[in-house]
Amino acid sequence: MLSAYQGYQLSFKSISRAQFDLICTHIKPDQVISLILSDSDDTPGQSELFFSRFQITDFTRTRMLKLINIGSASLEDICRCFREFAKYHRISIESYNARRLSQDVLLSVATQIKIGAPERLISCAEITSRSFAFPVCLIILRCLTISQSSMDDLKSICKLALRLTSLKVENLILNANEEFLLSAQQLRRLVLYCKNVPVSMNQMEQLLMNLPQLKYFEISAKGSFDLTNGYLWESLTYKLVTFNFNFWLKIAGIEEILNSFRTLFWIERKKWFVVATRKRLFSIPHFSKKIADTYFQLPLHTTIPHGDETLLFDKVTYFILNNSLISHQNYFRYIKTLEIKNTNSFENLSTLIDLNHVENFILSSSMNHSTIATLMKSMPSLQQFSINTELQKFFDQTKNLCFEQIRILEINQPIIDGNFYVIEQLVRLFPNIEILRVNSIRWKLGIARLLDKFENLWSASFRLEKSSTPETDIDVLSFIRNDFDVLNFIRNEIDYEKYEAFHNRCRPKSTTGQNQGKYYDFWIKKRVSFSLYYSN
């Protein structure tokens, strides 16, 4: 039945090498209608491996192809046959590197482009300049997400991308009193984040009056006081289905302002609710807090009807225990991440949050043996554990414990040179780890040992830093300068009999902090039987 099925939608984002090989062995290209490939941190080199087995032109029934941070070599191979392939396919591209998208063929065939950089913002000026040189570029683009743009660049893109229906700009650079005009009659979704100068109601009128098809509008910006007039917004947004705003501005007469957002239009017809403080006016629940702690309080000034406060509680997915629990009626039903910064009292924790949904546990404070054992048993969905405390103290507090349910482990305390005890204790505590992230290690041999010891490991990422020991500083720094030497050293030190496949990659060093290092990513496959692998 599976071999005859003709509608597979394959996503290889964050997948183990064993599962990847299993799927690629049994799936035929003409069975696939949707395909996602990713060269992200946990699957380095995936696209190159995939295209060593398949040709993109073999996927004759595929209607959607999504490429996430694909390496340059793979993009060059894809580009050779992209134009013919794109006639019948939707192409979606996500990249942190704008240069990878500079090829004319990519711009001309992509229906969706997302450009973002975690370390620096990328302007869309390069895209617009190349598009003017090659007018066919952007002609079928429908969705665009970009980190940074000027208003002039946006206008240029809208003129070229005649089918653009969704546009998101994470940092729109505006000049004071600049006209807010976009020529995009077909645009249905618009998200703008403006950080440099305040926007005014006059600019909002200019923008919305020229976007007749717009149904979703989201904006976050500094603002002038005239943006607090709910009556004016009503006349501008009556055609919208969704309207989310977050304005930073000085507010006087809070209740008078909120009254303009309490009309039947806002409360009954649209069900758009607003919160006002002295420095901020924003819609909820979209812009309400997603992180809460033991000091959490409901907003004092809001248009939300009495009894509907659960809208605010249900938006919170991250809870921080940073003080002894205070008795109140708050209850958070959808907490995914629980961080412990204070361990004085856990007695009433289950009356404050629903522990059944917690997937990620972050320990940022010392915790006694019985407390951590009891708490871990109370979280049946828990899969990820983050250690933010001193490793030796953590090991002392977890003697005779074993966290078999944990699949993802993140270590935010440094692992120093020669500390084999740390490796032994981590493997003892977390025997079933599949994904490992070590954000500070000063021991290249330790990387090889950690890769070897975790039997179920398939993805690992390490930030290698210089050692605090003077005599090892020169050694480690010389390796950091030469990525090939580091990776070659690790490959020579691992126990190759344990591995069926081994992929690795180096990422650029961090741009923040004094002790900078480089990131080394690994995508591996251990020599274990499939029955044993999947029984775990």
Which pTM does this prediction carry? 0.85
Quick one: which of 60, 47, 62, 58 has its CA closest to 7? Answer: 62
Residues across the chain: 536
Residue 326 has pLDDT above 80, yes or no: no
- The answer to whether 515 and 472 have CB atoms below 8 angstroms apart is no
Identity of residue 218: E
- The answer to whether 526 and 456 have CB atoms below 8 angstroms apart is yes
Average pLDDT over all residues of the chain: 84
- Given CA atoms 490, 495, 497, 501 in this order, what sign does their dihedral have? negative
What is the 3-state secondary structure of 234-258?
HHHHCCCCEEEEEEECCCCCHHHHH
Question: Higher model confidence: residue 512 or residue 143?
Answer: 143
Question: What's the token pair of residue 44?
Answer: 């380095």
- Give dist(CA 342, CA 325) in Å, integer: 10
pLDDT tens for 403-430 read: 999 999 999 999 988 889 999 999 999 9
Residue 415 has what DSSP assignment? B
Residue 86 has what DSSP assignment? G
pLDDT tens for 263-298 read: 999 999 999 999 999 999 999 999 999 999 888 888
pLDDT of 109 reads 57
Q: Please state the separation of Cα 135 from the chain's center in Å.
A: 33
- Given CA atoms 50, 55, 61, 67 in this order, what sign does their dihedral have? positive
Quick one: which of 136, 137, 138, 128 has its CA closest to 163? Answer: 138
Cα dihedral 151, 155, 157, 163 in deg (nearest 10):
130
Residue 386 phi, psi dihedral angles, 5° rounding: -120, 125
**340 three-class SS:** strand
Domain ranges of the chain: 311-508+521-533
Over residues 490-518, the mean pLDDT reads 78
pLDDT tens for 363-415 read: 998 888 888 998 999 999 999 999 999 999 999 999 999 999 999 999 999 99
Identity of residue 261: F
**454 three-class SS:** coil
- The answer to whether 53 and 24 have CB atoms below 8 angstroms apart is yes
Q: Name the burial class of residue 2, with classes exposed (0-12), middle (13-18) and buried (19+) by CB atoms within 10 angstroms of its CB.
A: exposed
pLDDT tens for 29-68 read: 999 999 999 998 899 999 999 989 998 888 888 888 888 8
**Mean pLDDT lowest among 160-174, 308-322, 327-341, 520-534:** 520-534
